[in-house]
């Protein structure tokens, strides 16, 4: 959380500019990634007859690149990314939704 607080500027004029620059970049990146995976991550029909689609995708240089390049990019900064940067509450909510509610439902079912 301290890291987040240091990195995020308050919403003064420069904070707003930074916000909109980041938003534009994210929007453009989203559009480009959308198109890239639609263009390169669709395999020819015969590849889906193979036992593993993932391994089949690695056989074509274009689809392998479209699949692995984003993964390599993000994993190269693996240590700098973590759920904590989204705030403790995000992670807590995620776990609460999945596990607390899940176990509550399970307990109710078991009672029946």
Residue 96 found at the interface with other proteins (CB under 8 A): yes
Residue 102 found at the interface with other proteins (CB under 8 A): no
Q: What are phi and psi of 44, to 5 degrees?
A: -65, 155
Query: Applying CB under 8 A, what is the total number of residues that bind other proteins?
Result: 61
Residue 106 found at the interface with other proteins (CB under 8 A): no
Binding-site member from 83, 104, 105, 106 for other proteins (CB under 8 A): 83
Binding-site member from 14, 62, 97, 106 for other proteins (CB under 8 A): 97
Q: CA of 90: how far to CAs of 17, 40, 96, in Å? A: 25, 33, 10
Question: Looking only at residues 6 through 35 of this chain, which bind other proteins when binding is defined by CB under 8 A?
Answer: 7-8, 11, 16, 18-20, 22-23, 25-31, 33-34
Spatial separation of the C-alpha atoms in residues 53 and 43, rounded to whole Å: 9
Spatial separation of the C-alpha atoms in residues 78 and 59, rounded to whole Å: 26
Spatial separation of the C-alpha atoms in residues 79 and 64, rounded to whole Å: 24
Residue 60 found at the interface with other proteins (CB under 8 A): no
């Amino acid at each position: 959380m301290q890291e987040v607080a240091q990195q995020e500027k308050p919403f003064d004029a420069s904070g707003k500019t930074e916000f909109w620059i980041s938003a534009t970049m994210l929007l453009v990146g989203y559009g480009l990634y959308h198109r890239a995976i639609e263009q390169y991550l669709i395999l020819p029909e015969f590849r889906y007859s193979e036992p593993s689609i993932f391994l089949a995708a690695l056989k074509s240089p274009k689809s392998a690149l479209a699949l692995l390049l984003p993964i390599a990019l993000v994993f190269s900064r693996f240590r700098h990314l973590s759920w904590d940067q989204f705030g403790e509450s995000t992670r807590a909510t995620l776990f609460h939704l999945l596990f607390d509610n899940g176990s509550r439902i399970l307990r109710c079912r078991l009672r029946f």
